[in-house]
Amino acid sequence: MTVSCRVLKLARQSYYRWRNDPVRSADVLRAYRLNALHDAHGEDPTFGYRYLAGAPGRVADE
């Protein structure tokens, strides 16, 4: 572990803090929804925010 942190130029303290605090499922779901919105906007940038506000449910169901 020490060598890996040294090679990646990371502090061991931040690694252990990250390891002891796992990612919550709510954060994963939020990231998935944000990626879906980003993808929907990238496919057709003319979509407005009102259309995209309904997009997460449609994208997640596909």
State mean pLDDT over 46-60.
Answer: 60
- Residue 56 clears pLDDT 60, i.e. is over it: no
The pTM (predicted TM-score) of the whole model is: 0.46
- Residue 62 clears pLDDT 80, i.e. is over it: no
SS3 36: helix
Write out pLDDT tens, residues 15-41. 888 888 878 888 889 888 888 878 877
* Res 45: pLDDT: 67
* 13 sits in which H/E element: helix 12-20
- Residue 7 clears pLDDT 80, i.e. is over it: yes
